[in-house]
């Protein structure tokens, strides 16, 4: 696996996104957002499960 600078990788990704359109990028963003919301909700709500006996 060859090493590519970050700027080159971002430029290549932007070029690929322009060729494919925004559909795939939007799909990935929505999936990451939903997973992030679920993990955040789990992290915040897990404290309410404790029993104070």
Rounded to whole angstroms, what are the CA distances from 31 to 9, 18, 50? 22, 20, 30
Q: What is the pTM of this model?
A: 0.50
Residue range 14-48, pLDDT digits in tens: 666 566 667 888 999 999 999 999 999 999 998 77
């Amino acid at each position: 696996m060859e090493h590519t600078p970050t700027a080159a990788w971002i430029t290549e990704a932007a070029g690929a996104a322009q060729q494919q359109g925004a559909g795939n990028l939007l799909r990935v963003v929505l999936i990451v957002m939903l997973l992030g919301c679920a993990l955040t909700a789990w992290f915040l709500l897990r404290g309410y499960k404790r029993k104070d006996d």
